[in-house]
Chain A
Amino acid sequence: MTSDNRKYLKVIAVWIITLAAMFMFQSYFTR
Chain B
Amino acid sequence: MRALDWLVVVSYLTWVVWDGLRQAKRSKDVEGFLVAGRSLPWWLVGLSVMATQLSAITMIGTTGQAYLNGMAFLQYYYALPLAMIILSVTLVPFFHKANIFTAYQYLETRFDSKVRTFTALLFLFSRSLSCSVVISAPAVVMSVILGLNTTFTCLLIGVPTTIFTMFGGVRAVAYTDVKQMVIVTASLLTAVTALILGLPDSVGVGDALRVAGTTGRLQMFDFRFDLTVQYTFWSGTIAALFLYLSYFGTDQSQVQRYLSAKSVDEARSSLLMSAYAKIPLQALVLILGVLMFTFYLFTPPPLLFNPVHDSQVRASGRAADYVALEQKFGTALEQRRVAAGALAAAGRSGDAAAEAATAAGFKAADEAVKQVRADAVGIVKEVSGDRGYNDVNYVFPTFVTTYLPMGLAGMVVAAILVAAMSASSAELAALSTSSVIDFYRRFGPANADDAHVLMASRVAIGFWGLFASIVAIWAAELGSLIEVVNRFGSLFYGSILGVFLLAIGYKRANSTGAFAGMITGMAVILSIAFYTKIAFLWHNPIATIVVFSVGVIVSELTGPRKVGTNL
In the complex, how many angstroms separate the beta carbon of B263 from the nearest chain A beta carbon?
Answer: 13
Q: Indicate if the CB atoms of A26 and B81 lie closer than 8 Å.
A: no
Of B112-120, B274-282, B435-443, which stretch is located at the interface? B274-282
Q: Which residues of B contact A12 (CB under 8 A)?
A: 81-82, 85
State which of B84, B85, B206, B213 has its C-beta within 8 Å of the C-beta of A30: B213
Chain A neighbourhood of B82, CB < 8 A? 12, 15
Contact B84 A18 (CB under 8 A): no
**Contacts between chains A and B (CB distance < 8 A), count:** 51
Which residues of chain A are within 8 angstroms of B219 by Cβ–Cβ distance? 26, 30
Q: Is B88 an interface residue (CB 8 A)?
A: yes
Question: Given A8-B88, A11-B81, is A29 in contact with B210 using a C-beta cutoff of 8 Å?
Answer: yes
Q: Is the CB of B218 within 8 A of A25?
A: yes
Chain A, 1-31, CB within 8 A of any chain B CB:
4, 7-8, 11-12, 14-15, 18-19, 22-23, 25-26, 29-31
Q: How far is the CA of A11 from the CA of B81 in the complex (A)?
A: 7
Interface: B220 (CB within 8 A): yes
A8 and B214 form a contact (CB under 8 A) = no
Give Cα A4 to B78, complex, Å: 22
**Chain A contacts for B85, CB-based, 8 A:** 8, 11-12
Q: Mark B198-224, 1 if CB is under 8 A from A, else 0.
A: 000000001001101110101111000
- B194 CB contacts on chain A under 8 angstroms: none
Give chain B's interface secondary structure class.
Answer: helix
Contact B220 A14 (CB under 8 A): no
What is the bound-complex CA distance between A3 and B221, given in angstroms?
Answer: 33
B257 at the interface (CB under 8 A from A): no
In the complex, whether B552 has a CB less than 8 A from a CB of chain A is no
Minimum CB–CB distance from A3 to chain B (whole Å) comes to: 10
Residues of B contacting A31 with CB < 8 Å?
213
**B272/A29 in contact, CB under 8 A:** no
B161 to chain A, nearest CB (A): 33
B81 near A22 with CB under 8 A, answer no
Specify which chain B residues have a CB less than 8 angstroms from the CB of A25 in the assembled complex: 218, 220
Contacts of A4 in B (CB 8 A): 88-89, 268
Q: Chain A nearest CB: distance from B84 CB in Å?
A: 7
* Whole-angstrom distance between the Cβ of A22 and the nearest chain B Cβ: 5
Tell me the complex Cα distance, A29–B347, Å: 10
Which residue of B221, B275, B276, B279 contacts A26 across the interface (Cβ within 8 Å)? B221
B74 at the interface (CB under 8 A from A): yes
B218 engages A30 (CB within 8 Å) = yes
B332 at the interface (CB under 8 A from A): no
Residues of A within 8 Å of B268, CB to CB, are 4, 7
Q: Which one of B209, B276, B283 lies within 8 Å of A22 (CB-CB)?
A: B283
B275–A29 touching, CB < 8 Å: no
Nearest B residue to A14, CB-CB = B276
Closest Cβ of chain B to A11, distance in Å, is 5
CA of A15 to CA of B212 in the docked complex: distance in angstroms? Answer: 25
Candidates A7, A18, A19; contact of B272 at CB < 8 Å: A7
CB-based nearest A residue for B84: A11
Contacts of B213 in A (CB 8 A): 26, 29-31
Q: Is the CB of A18 within 8 A of B89?
A: no
Closest B residue to A3 by CB, please name it: B265
Q: Select from chain B the residue with minimum beta-carbon distance to A8.
A: B85
A26 to B78, CA, bound (A): 15
Q: Which residues of B contact A15 (CB under 8 A)?
A: 81-82, 275, 279
B216 touching A30 by the CB < 8 A rule? yes
Interface residues of B in 73-104 (CB under 8 A from A): 74, 78, 81-82, 84-85, 88-89
B127-170 interface (Cβ within 8 A of A): none
**In the assembly, what is the distance between CA of A18 and CA of B206, in Å?**
20
A31 to B350, CA, bound (A): 12
A18 to B282, CA, bound (A): 12
Bound complex: CA of A15 vs CA of B84, how far in Å?
12
A29–B218 CB distance below 8 A: yes
Whether A18 touches B280, Cβ cut-off 8 Å, given contacts A8-B89, A23-B221, A30-B219, is: yes
- CB-based closest 10 A-B pairs: A29-B213, A30-B213, A15-B81, A29-B209, A11-B275, A8-B85, A29-B218, A26-B220, A22-B220, A26-B218
Given contacts A4-B268, A11-B85, A29-B212, 15 further A-B pairs with CB under 8 A are A4-B88, A12-B81, A12-B82, A12-B85, A14-B81, A15-B275, A18-B279, A22-B283, A23-B220, A26-B213, A26-B221, A29-B213, A30-B213, A30-B218, A31-B213
Residues of B whose CB lies within 8 Å of any CB of A are: 74, 78, 81-82, 84-85, 88-89, 206, 209-210, 212-214, 216, 218-221, 268, 272, 275-276, 279-280, 283
What are 5 of the A-B contact pairs (CB < 8 Å)? A7-B268, A11-B276, A12-B81, A14-B81, A29-B209
